[in-house]
């Protein structure tokens, strides 16, 4: 089988490799980069390590090969013609590909955020670290984890080009609540889901005038802490109960001029995509995560939960992506202002967007292509 697949791959002649290993729940980490690699002028291939992972990646025109054995991978000569290998997560099985000396390695990560994962000391094992904009470079500078500044390259965030700066235009506001997961340990605990989530959603459902709620939890929710699973189920039950109550209150003879029925939405799978949820909402409530950073592409108002209860100034200094957002305290302080107050942070969001993602021109895809071509030209 290896010989047959090797002949097919060799005939294709891959130049760029997207490497991924991880749990099936983490498939989104690779999934987000597939459309970008499809647009490259270079021939790209996806290398997986876990059987069945391909089923969890959306349909793509890119060829995929799964090689579970480390010995088979390191002796798979059909990849020898490639010059660049891109990594989206820091996992132990990366070492098998990193040991191939002819490949230049670049760490893309699976999101650009103020989380510790965005300046992990493991990143220094790669030849290069690719970040979206100046904010990513500054994170590594402040963290002093051994990543040399000259090895950091700002390549933009090509995935964000389809995000609209316009709201859905409905006769009512839509709020997206997208909490992060509980993290690998308590030091990485940024989720509001356990301590604040049900109260946030309850406040949104009870708000007057009515709001539409889109709830999209992180794919890894409950992976480490089952109390996150319980909070998630409570929120889903609350939204389902609200939907049921509305459907019972509607009279069959409702006229066309009546107030529209607001349908809330729970998103637990890959569809609709997170960015589709961005386009379908007016406001975001989230935690410290790449969701906050990516949402800035929309320039719409957002609020960030202060789970640790840090003083406001210290919070913004530690997490720069929150500087243009409203801070929500553990007692939900700031929520009423966020939902009903005047938006005074529009200009700050535009400025922060440039800091996070770099210049608007040339566009992100052009800058990403230039980073790839630099590797091929030996720069």
- pLDDT tens for the chain, 379 residues long, are 999 999 999 999 999 999 999 999 889 999 999 999 999 999 999 999 999 999 898 788 999 999 999 999 989 999 999 999 999 999 999 999 999 889 999 999 988 888 777 788 889 999 999 999 999 999 999 989 999 999 999 999 999 988 999 999 999 999 999 999 887 776 656 899 999 999 999 999 999 999 999 999 998 898 888 999 999 999 999 999 998 887 777 655 444 444 567 899 999 988 899 999 999 999 999 999 999 999 999 999 999 999 989 999 999 999 999 999 999 999 999 999 999 999 999 999 999 999 999 998 999 999 999 999 999 998 7
Q: Which DSSP symbol is given to 165?
A: S
Residues 172 and 211: beta-carbon distance below 8 Å: yes
Helical axes 197-206 vs 226-249, angle rounded to 10°: 10
In this structure, the answer to whether residues 39 and 54 fall within a common structural domain is: yes
Domain that holds residue 7: 2-156+359-376
Question: Can you give the C-alpha Rg of the chain in angstroms?
Answer: 22
In this structure, the answer to whether residues 197 and 331 fall within a common structural domain is: yes
In this structure, the answer to whether residues 112 and 16 fall within a common structural domain is: yes
Provide, rounded to the nearest whole percent, the portion of the chain with pLDDT above 90. Answer: 78
302-305 sheet: strands from edge to edge: 265-266, 212-215, 174-178, 283-286, 302-305, 326-328
pLDDT of residue 266: 97
In this structure, the answer to whether residues 197 and 95 fall within a common structural domain is: no
What is the separation, in whole angstroms, between the first and last Cα of the chain? 37
In this structure, the answer to whether residues 21 and 137 fall within a common structural domain is: yes
CA distance 213 to 202: 10
CA distance 246 to 110: 38
pLDDT of residue 251: 55
In this structure, the answer to whether residues 119 and 169 fall within a common structural domain is: no
The pLDDT tens digits for 339-379 are: 999 999 999 999 999 999 999 899 999 999 999 999 999 87
In this structure, the answer to whether residues 76 and 166 fall within a common structural domain is: no
Its pTM stands at 0.88
CA distance 174 to 277: 10
In this structure, the answer to whether residues 218 and 239 fall within a common structural domain is: yes
In this structure, the answer to whether residues 348 and 338 fall within a common structural domain is: yes
Owner of token pair 């859905």: 168
pLDDT of residue 186: 65
- CATH at residue 276: 3.40.50.2000
In this structure, the answer to whether residues 353 and 363 fall within a common structural domain is: no
Count of domains for the chain:
2
CA distance 29 to 11: 28
Question: Per DSSP, which regions of the chain are E strands?
Answer: 16-20, 44-48, 64-66, 84-87, 104-107, 128-131, 152-154, 174-178, 212-215, 265-266, 283-286, 302-305, 326-328
Residue 259, number of CB atoms within 10 A of its CB? 10
The pLDDT tens digits for 40-87 are: 999 999 999 999 999 898 788 999 999 999 999 989 999 999 999 999
């Amino acid at each position: 089988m290896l010989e047959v697949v090797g002949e097919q791959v060799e005939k294709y002649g891959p130049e760029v490799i997207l490497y991924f290993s991880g749990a099936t729940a983490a498939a989104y980490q690779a999934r987000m980069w597939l459309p970008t690699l499809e647009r490259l002028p270079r021939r790209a291939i996806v290398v997986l390590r876990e059987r069945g992972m391909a089923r969890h990646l959306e349909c793509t025109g890119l060829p995929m090969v799964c090689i579970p054995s480390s010995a088979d991978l390191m002796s798979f000569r059909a990849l020898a013609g490639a010059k660049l290998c891109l990594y989206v997560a820091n996992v132990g099985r990366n070492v098998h590909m990193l040991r191939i000396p002819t490949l230049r390695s670049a760490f893309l990560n699976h999101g650009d955020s103020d989380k510790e994962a965005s300046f992990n000391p493991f990143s220094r094992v790669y030849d290069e670290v690719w970040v979206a904009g100046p904010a990513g470079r500054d994170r590594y500078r402040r963290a002093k984890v051994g990543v040399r500044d000259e090895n950091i390259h700002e390549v933009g965030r090509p995935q964000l080009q389809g995000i609209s700066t316009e709201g859905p235009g409905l006769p009512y506001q839509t709020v997206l609540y997208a909490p992060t997961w509980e993290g690998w340990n308590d030091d990485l605990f940024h989720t509001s889901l356990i301590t604040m989530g049900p109260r946030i959603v309850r406040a949104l459902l009870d708000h007057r005038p009515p709001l539409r709620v889109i709830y999209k939890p992180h794919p890894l929710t409950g992976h480490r802490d089952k109390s996150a699973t319980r909070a998630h189920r409570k929120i889903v039950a609350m939204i389902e109960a609200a939907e049921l109550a509305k459907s019972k209150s509607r009279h069959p003879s409702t006229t066309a001029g009546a107030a529209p029925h607001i349908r809330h939405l729970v998103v637990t799978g890959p569809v609709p995509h997170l960015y589709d949820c961005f386009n379908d909402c007016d406001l975001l409530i989230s935690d410290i995560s790449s969701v906050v950073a990516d949402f800035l592409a929309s320039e719409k108002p957002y609020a960030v939960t202060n789970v640790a209860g840090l003083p406001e100034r210290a919070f913004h200094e530690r997490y720069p992506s929150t500087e243009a957002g409203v801070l929500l305290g553990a007692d939900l302080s700031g929520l009423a202002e966020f939902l009903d107050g005047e938006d005074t942070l529009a200009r700050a969001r535009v400025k922060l967007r440039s800091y996070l993602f770099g210049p608007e021109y040339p566009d992100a895809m052009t800058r990403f292509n230039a980073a790839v071509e630099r590797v091929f030209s030996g720069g």
